[in-house]
Structure 1
Amino acid sequence: MKKILNRASAPTPKFFKVLRNVGLALVAIGGTILAAPIALPVVVTSIGGYLAVAGGVVSAVSQLTTSTEKEDGAQ
């Protein structure tokens, strides 16, 4: 468990920061579709659910990705 917490607080590479933000945007869009105050077709609601799940997974994986740089003499 401690390794996961260390990974979550470690520096994240720039590409994965961008990917994390895209995932968060997908979660927001999916949540907005699911919480719409009007009745939407089932297909649109299903797409909203898939967007929310996919965005959450992308964000979580991106947040736990860390950069490891080799130190002098380390292999």
Structure 2
Amino acid sequence: MNKIIERATAPTPKFFKVLRNIGLAMAAVGGTILAAPIVLPVVVTSIGGYLAVAGGVISAISQLTTEKVDGSQ
């Protein structure tokens, strides 16, 4: 459990910061589509669900990617 906390608080490489932000945007767009107050076609709703899940996964993995956690390689 401590390793996960260390990884989450360790510096994230620039590429993965950009990737994390893209994932957050995807999750936001997907959530907006799913929460739309109008009835949308099933295809659009399905795409919104996939965007939300994919964005969440991309963001989580990117946040836990670090340059180095400890002195080991």
Q: TM-score, normalised by structure 2?
A: 0.93
2:33 counterpart residue number: 33
Percentage of identical aligned residues: 79
Gaps of 5+ in 1: none
Q: Which runs of 4+ in 1 moved over 6 A?
A: none
Task: Return the letter of the residue paired with 2:51.
Answer: L
Gaps of 5+ in 2: none
Give a deviation string over 1:2-39, Cα, whole Å, max 9, x none: 10000000000000000000000000000000000000
The RMSD of aligned alpha carbons is 1.4
Task: Return the letter of the residue paired with 1:2.
Answer: N
Aligned residues: 71
Give a deviation string over 1:35-71, Cα, whole Å, max 9, x none: 0000000000000000000000000000000002xx7
2:55 counterpart residue number: 55
Q: Kindly report which structure 2 residues correspond to 1:1-75, keeping only aligned pairs within 5 A, or say none.
A: 1-68=1-68
